[in-house]
């Protein structure tokens, strides 16, 4: 992979590679959307070559700044992900991977819908983003007003392209909601690594968290019991150990 280094978590990239390559990719088309310098493309290309397949027939990439993309022999098209529609036909790709991209997007709902449009029926979208609901991030939000990996933005910034930074934090629940309302099927969640510091804070704060969750549940169920019932599985995920401890969330939706 030469000098290409990850701009996002190495374990996040590896986890998505494992999910993507759980099925044979020969004869399929994969898009690395918002590819950056190409770290994810590079390790996927390496996997494809190891399987004896031609990466150029399977993998392509796009980014607002394709000049920083460093994977040889893999095409990277210039695409501004904040401008719709994207320059791809309907039903083009079997798999789209957006590694640490959605938090850079201004209109996240439209981004998810556009990804679904260019997916083939049965195709899969993988979206990763910083987990703003882990215990460290919740504490930072309590004391500072910003979740982990987010902060004040330069209001006078002239060039407001999505590559400038994290402009739009999104939690697991709302990302799932975006996918479901965009008519994705079989939406599932995954996590990369658990943070040691989060384990400590969870142990310290667990009694308070349990009491707070109980109070919320008893209060909300009196007013919106049908909505609570409809959301029960995702509410359990949103308040489970995985979400409290993990650094990054990975959401998969199938068209």
- pLDDT, one tens digit per residue, over 100-148 is 999 999 999 999 999 999 999 999 999 999 999 999 999 999 999 999 9
Q: All domains of the chain, ordered by start, with CATH? A: 10-195+247-254 (3.40.50.150)
Model pLDDT, residue 115 = 98
pLDDT of residue 8: 84
> What integer is the mean pLDDT of 77-97?
98
How far is it, in rounded angstroms, from Cα 5 to Cα 38? 8
Q: Which of 12-16, 33-37, 231-235 has the lowest mean pLDDT?
A: 231-235
Percent above pLDDT 90 for the chain? 73
Q: What is the pLDDT of residue 37?
A: 95
More confident call, 220 vs 245: 245
Q: In whole numbers, what is the pLDDT of the chain averaged over residues?
A: 91
Q: Could you tell me the pLDDT band of residue 1, with boundaries at 50, 70 and 90?
A: very low
Determine the pLDDT at residue 67: 95
Return the HEC string of the chain: CCCCCCCCCHHHHHHHHHHHCCCCCCCCCEEEECCCCCHHHHHHHHHHHHCCCCHHHHEEEEECCHHHCCCCCCCEEECCCCCCCCCCCCCCEEEEEEECCHHHCCCHHHHHHHHHHHEEEEEEEEEEEECCCCHHHHHHHHHHCCCCCCCCCCCCCCCCCHHHCCCCCCCHHHHHHHHHHCCCEEEEEEECCECHHHHHHHHHHHHHHHHHHHHHHHHHHHHCHHHHHHCHHHHHHHCCHHHHHECEEEEEEEC
Tell me the pLDDT band of 211, cut-offs 50, 70 and 90: confident
φ/ψ bin of 26: left (φ > 0), alpha (ψ from -120 to 50), beta (otherwise): beta
Query: Which phi and psi angles does 9 have, rounded to 5°?
Result: -60, 130
Look at residue 221 in the predicted model and tell me its pLDDT. 66
Distances (CA, A) of 172 to 41, 102, 130, 176, 235: 25, 12, 9, 6, 10
Q: Is the peptide bond before 225 cis (omega within 30 degrees of 0)?
A: no
| pLDDT of amino acid 160 | 53
pLDDT above 70 (res 158):
no
Q: Does residue 219 surpass a pLDDT of 90?
A: no
């Amino acid at each position: 992979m030469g000098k290409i280094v990850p701009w996002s978590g190495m374990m996040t990239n590896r986890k998505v590679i494992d999910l993507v390559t759980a099925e044979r990719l020969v004869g399929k088309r994969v898009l690395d959307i918002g590819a950056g310098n190409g770290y994810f493309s590079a390790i996927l290309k390496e996997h494809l070559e190891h399987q004896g397949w031609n990466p150029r027939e399977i993998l392509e990439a796009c980014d607002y700044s394709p000049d920083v993309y460093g994977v040889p022999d893999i095409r990277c098209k210039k695409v501004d992900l904040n401008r719709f529609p994207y320059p791809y036909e309907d039903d083009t790709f079997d798999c789209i991977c957006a590694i640490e991209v959605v938090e850079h997007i201004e209109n996240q709902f439209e981004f998810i819908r556009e990804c679904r449009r260019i997916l083939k029926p049965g195709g899969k979208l993988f979206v990763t983003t910083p987990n703003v609901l882990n215990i460290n991030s919740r504490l930072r939000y309590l004391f500072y007003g910003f979740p982990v990996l987010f902060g004040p933005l330069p209001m006078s910034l002239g060039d407001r392209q999505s590559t400038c930074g994290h402009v739009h934090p999104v939690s697991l629940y709302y990302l799932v909601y975006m996918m479901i309302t965009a008519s994705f099927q079989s939406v599932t969640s995954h996590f990369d690594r658990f943070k040691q510091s989060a384990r400590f804070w969870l142990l310290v704060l667990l009694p308070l968290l349990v009491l707070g969750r109980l109070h919320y549940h008893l209060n909300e169920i009196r007013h919106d019991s049908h909505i609570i019932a409809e959301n029960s599985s995702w509410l359990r995920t949103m308040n489970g150990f995985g979400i409290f401890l993990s650094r990054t969330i990975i959401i998969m939706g199938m068209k």
